[in-house]
């Protein structure tokens, strides 16, 4: 196709919309409110939509992978945020070393699983 894609923006839901909004701002995203039930969260060239919608099967199976340039540094910064102390259901899982690279994980307040990884060979 000759048309150039510019971004990809997944839609995710929230069990408690206000809590999730605070969580993503603490994680470093900038919120743009689109309407009372949806916001777009941006960080550099990345973005996703957060909806005030909770469908357990959808949320429990949502995973998002974010490539970072240095997962060791990212995990250090992530740990300093102390998200697990601020948010009851949030989990931060340390770096795992795999054959393709390494990654750490964050479960948001609703259960969405975020992978933050670094590839060895691009």
Three-state SS for 46? strand
Q: What is the pLDDT along the chain (122 residues), one digit of tens a residue?
A: 789 998 999 999 999 999 999 999 999 999 999 999 999 999 999 999 999 999 999 999 999 999 999 999 999 999 999 999 999 999 999 999 999 999 999 999 999 999 999 999 86
Q: How far is CA 106 from CA 1, 10, 36, 60, 101, in A?
A: 35, 17, 26, 13, 17
Q: Which tens digit of pLDDT belongs to each residue from 92-122?
A: 999 999 999 999 999 999 999 999 999 998 6
Which pTM does this prediction carry?
0.93
């Amino acid at each position: 196709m000759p048309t150039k894609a510019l971004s990809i923006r997944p839609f995710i839901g929230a069990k408690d919309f206000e809590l999730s909004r605070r969580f993503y701002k603490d994680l470093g995203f900038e919120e743009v409110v689109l309407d009372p039930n949806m916001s777009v969260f941006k960080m550099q060239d990345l973005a996703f939509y957060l909806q005030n919608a909770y469908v357990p099967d959808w949320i429990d199976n949502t995973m998002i992978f974010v490539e970072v340039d240095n997962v060791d540094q990212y995990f250090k910064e992530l740990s300093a945020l102390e998200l697990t102390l601020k948010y009851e259901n949030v989990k931060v899982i340390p770096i795992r070393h795999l054959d393709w690279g390494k990654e750490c994980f964050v479960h948001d307040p609703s259960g969405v699983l975020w992978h933050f990884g670094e590839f060895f060979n691009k």
